[in-house]
Structure 1
Amino acid sequence: MKYALLGGLAAACFPFISVSAVELSQDFSLLGNVGLFSEYNSRGLSQTQRDPSLQLSLMLLHSSGFYVASWSSNVDFGHGSKASYETDYIGGYLWQPSEKVTVDVGYLKYTYPKQSNLNVSEKYLTLDAYGFLFGAYYSDDNYGSQASLYSYVGYKTTLPYDVGVQVKYGRSDFKDPVFFNSDGGSRESYRSWELQLSKAYVGLNWSASFVGTDLSKTECSSYMGYEDVCSNRMVFGVSKDF
């Protein structure tokens, strides 16, 4: 398998995984990773009330570009939620027309085994071209029938001393208003951002990210149930490939 393709897959599905894999055969490779993070951040929103998160991932890759994967993390939504962990199932295809251009298309299913009414599916398309990043994730089953679209633009590069840097700016749109503010108004979208520095050192992958959203405390509380899980903050992580 070409390692350029492998690297593109790892970055597309599991951004904290470095380019290493177990070659099962001439056509199949296996990627695994375990990581500990200061919280589970998703699109600027903390899924663990800003508490630590243990994350596991496994990906089976074929030399053609097809892949299947699974990813899991603890979650904490509070307010009596029975969901204690999330497991995602992913299937997709990565096309690499040149060494510096990759296109990834696939299907992603978020599941919460102890609270299945939170389960959501998405179809996605991402592009990495010469370090510039573009992506879109569409769902038509949020909260049963609520449609949503998450899109982003970004850029990644490598600084001296092999320090990776990635910046991403995203927008999450819902069909109906889901964010309510203190003056009685509402809106159906919000913006999120992330600036991440990463480096491989002593066999581990280290990362530090500045993340946040443009949601007010009241809007955050109306959607997530807490005021402080949408604000600007730092997220730190360390992971290991296996």
Structure 2
Amino acid sequence: MKRTALLALALAPLACQALELSETFSLQIDTTLASDYRTRGISQTQNDPAAQVGATLLHSSGLYAGMWTSNVDFGFDLKTRQEVDYYAGWYWQATDEVSLDAGYVKYAYPKESRFNQSEVYAILGAYGFKLAAYYSNDAENIFGEQQDILYSYVSYETALPLDVGLKLRYGRNDFKDPMFWSASGKSEDDYHEWEAKLTRDFLGVTWGLSYIDTDLSDSECASNYGFTDVCSATWVASVSKSF
């Protein structure tokens, strides 16, 4: 069965936790345990837990490069059990409140190279808001043909009382070709997804709780991903640490 990779990273290359290697280079390590690996609203682990780790080499100019990996499970007889992402980009901090992040990411799936794809991205941040776009022209559709995909989102992040963080995101995944079919036979070439996440630092790690959903019906979800529950509303708990 043909699937389309729908993966993205929210890269934050200039985190203050990075380890200083020299006057110009630093290294950031990110680790996460989550009750589900959801990206763009879709479960990549059949709603099962995920362990994830990434490493990013940062330069004082704003240039960065790194890799990130997670376990995956697409079901059926598909052999891949891992996603490995390679990325490089440039982060520009214009002011304390305005930034621009642009780069390239390659998604790879050992033993299932047909899911491999690449994207270019740009993320504009201003006063807690982010406006982002990810574009790919080498992703396979369900017929095994390459197509264009544009994923875009707007998000907002702020601090609540009691040192609780709030993150909100609303996104749209737009495909060149029809990808989803309803029970009535109507086709769609895009869908919307959203997430609301609460975070809090405690005991040296960051705890998170997200509510994630899409506007795909059960039949639309099954028509492309083969299952009805990988697109439905869910709660995702996570614990992460960066250093």
Pairs within 5 Å for 1:1-242? 12-13=10-11, 19-143=16-140, 144-242=145-243
1:12 and 1:104 in contact (8 A); partners too:
no
Deviation (angstroms), 1:79: 1.1
User: What do residues 17-48 of structure 1 show as CA deviations (whole Å, max 9, x unaligned)?
Assistant: 96311100001110002211001000000000
Q: Distance in 2 between matches of 1:216 and 1:200?
A: 35
2:15 and 2:28 in contact (8 A); partners too:
no
Please, what TM-score do these two structures have when normalized by structure 1? 0.92
Please, what TM-score do these two structures have when normalized by structure 2? 0.92
Aligned to 2:4: none
1:179 and 1:187 in contact (8 A); partners too:
yes
User: What do residues 192-215 of structure 1 show as CA deviations (whole Å, max 9, x unaligned)?
Assistant: 000011111110111100001000
Q: What's the secondary structure of 1:80's corresponding residue?
A: coil
User: What do residues 79-130 of structure 1 show as CA deviations (whole Å, max 9, x unaligned)?
Assistant: 1111100000010001111011110000010000111110010000001100
Q: Percent identity?
A: 49
1:173 and 1:188 in contact (8 A); partners too:
yes
Coordinate RMSD, CA, aligned: 1.5
Count of residues in Structure 1 that have an aligned counterpart in Structure 2: 231
Name the one with the larger helix percent. Answer: 1
Task: Detail structure 1 runs of 4+ shifted over 3 Å in the superposition.
Answer: none
- Residue 240 of structure 2 aligns with an amino acid whose one-letter code is S
Q: Distance in 2 between matches of 1:172 and 1:24?
A: 38
User: What do residues 52-71 of structure 1 show as CA deviations (whole Å, max 9, x unaligned)?
Assistant: 00001101100000000111
